Amino acid sequence: METASRPPAAITGPFRTRQPFPDRSHDWVDAAPFTAHLRFLTALPQVSPEVVALLAGVAPRVTRRMLTGDGGRPLRRISPETAGRLYAVTPAVLAECRRRMVPAAPVAARMQQLLAAGWSVADWSGRTQLDSAAVEALLAGLTQSCSYWTALQVRAAAVEVRSVVGVEGVDQLERLPDQSTPRIRVLGPLAA
């Protein structure tokens, strides 16, 4: 007579016992190559860890920890999702951000909030690589659009200050169907 195989006793019965945790060692990747990529990006002019984090869609705390370590210890591993998002930010994506235009009103509103928090026109001029007249025109509402790069710089400044919530809708990055050229999708109040 054949006997049917039974499931283990841990699964049957009225009180199921806890199953052992699955092996999740494959859920992490070595952080070293991605930290090197992040160091390369932040060595470019006007690129801060916060800007990279905003473009990648990861928490700015993650990029800071990758560069400075956690309590002096280098970060040894990161999630595959974070790794993929960071690796997707390339110099070409950064160049596209400088060319792409977005509405200026939300960016100017955020700049006004940061001016109230102690920033000056000279600070903004240095941060955004705009001359003082262009910054003043943006703050006065005389310009209809600004570069996505300027919007990112303003949002990164807000993240650094932490007293102001970031500009909504400027941190979404989407790839075209052929995956060759990055395209920035603007969501929320910045959508035209």
**Count of helices and strands (H, E) across the chain:** 9, 6
pLDDT tier at 183, thresholds 50, 70, 90: very low
This prediction's pTM: 0.66
Q: How confident is the model at residue 70 (pLDDT cuts 50, 70, 90)?
A: confident
Distance CA 69, CA 147 (A): 32
Domains in the chain, CATH or no CATH each = 27-89 (1.10.260), 99-190 (1.10.260)
pLDDT tens across 110-163, in order? Answer: 888 888 878 888 888 887 778 888 889 998 989 999 999 989 988 888 877 763
62-67 contacts at long range (C-beta below 8 A, 24 or more positions apart): 63/38, 66/31, 66/34, 66/35, 66/38, 67/35, 67/38, 67/39, 67/42
CB neighbourhood size of 106 (10 A): 21
Residue 18 pLDDT class (50, 70, 90 cuts) = low
